[in-house]
């Protein structure tokens, strides 16, 4: 798991947010989140800054997210407290789909992420990983635990963030 997990850690850090740090509810008007994520493959740790800015109106929110790489997302409300989120991230490119559910102050997220990475010039390798997270939000401050897995290993992340 060692070298592959490190590669996965670097890949995630460079092209897709490790943390969700978002609520299922569509925000009203502009707003964002700033935070820090600690990521580990069980042997190594890395700290990654997180920044998200979005604008919500009605049942839809669009925005930008950065956790080393840069991404754009759209989030659509399905029902009160339930939403779907789709995002594209660079470099990579990487693509993400997420289902978010708010249960009181807790947000649960299930995500699938995929990227094509070409390190050798032979056309690249498609990587797929999935993730689950739970975040607790109180007074604009959030704590989140995330688990990301692929065929080659798993990553754990803990995040702290502030909404603005």
Q: For tokens 């920044």, what's the residue? A: 51
pLDDT in tens, 41-66: 888 888 989 999 999 999 999 999 98
pLDDT beyond 60 at 14: no
Query: What sign does the dihedral 1-116-93-146 (CA atoms) show?
Result: negative
CA nearest neighbour of 110 among 100, 96, 121, 124? 100
2-163 CATH choice from 1.10.4080.10, 1.10.10.10, 1.10.390.10, 2.40.160.40:
2.40.160.40
CA nearest neighbour of 77 among 96, 61, 93? 61
CA nearest neighbour of 51 among 26, 33, 73? 33
| pLDDT number for residue 90 | 83
pLDDT in tens, 109-155: 999 988 766 555 666 667 788 999 999 999 999 999 999 888 778 88
| pLDDT number for residue 29 | 94
Query: What sign does the dihedral 111-39-119-3 (CA atoms) show?
Result: negative
CA distance 131 to 31: 25
- pTM for the full predicted model: 0.83
């Amino acid at each position: 798991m060692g070298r592959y997990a490190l590669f996965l850690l670097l890949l995630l850090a460079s092209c897709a947010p490790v943390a969700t740090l978002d609520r299922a509810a569509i925000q009203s008007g502009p707003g964002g989140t700033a935070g820090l994520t600690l990521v580990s493959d069980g042997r190594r740790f890395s700290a990654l800054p997180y920044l998200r800015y979005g604008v919500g109106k009605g049942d839809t929110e669009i925005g930008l997210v950065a956790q080393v790489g840069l991404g754009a997302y759209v989030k659509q409300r399905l029902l009160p407290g339930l939403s779907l989120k789709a995002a594209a991230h660079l470099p990579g490119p990487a693509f993400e789909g997420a289902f978010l559910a708010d249960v009181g102050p807790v947000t649960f997220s299930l995500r699938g992420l995929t990227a094509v990475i070409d390190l050798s010039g032979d056309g690249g390798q498609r990587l797929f990983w999935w993730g689950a997270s739970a975040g607790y939000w109180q007074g604009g401050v959030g704590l989140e635990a995330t688990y990301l897995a692929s065929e080659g290993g798993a990553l754990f992340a803990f995040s702290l963030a502030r909404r603005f």
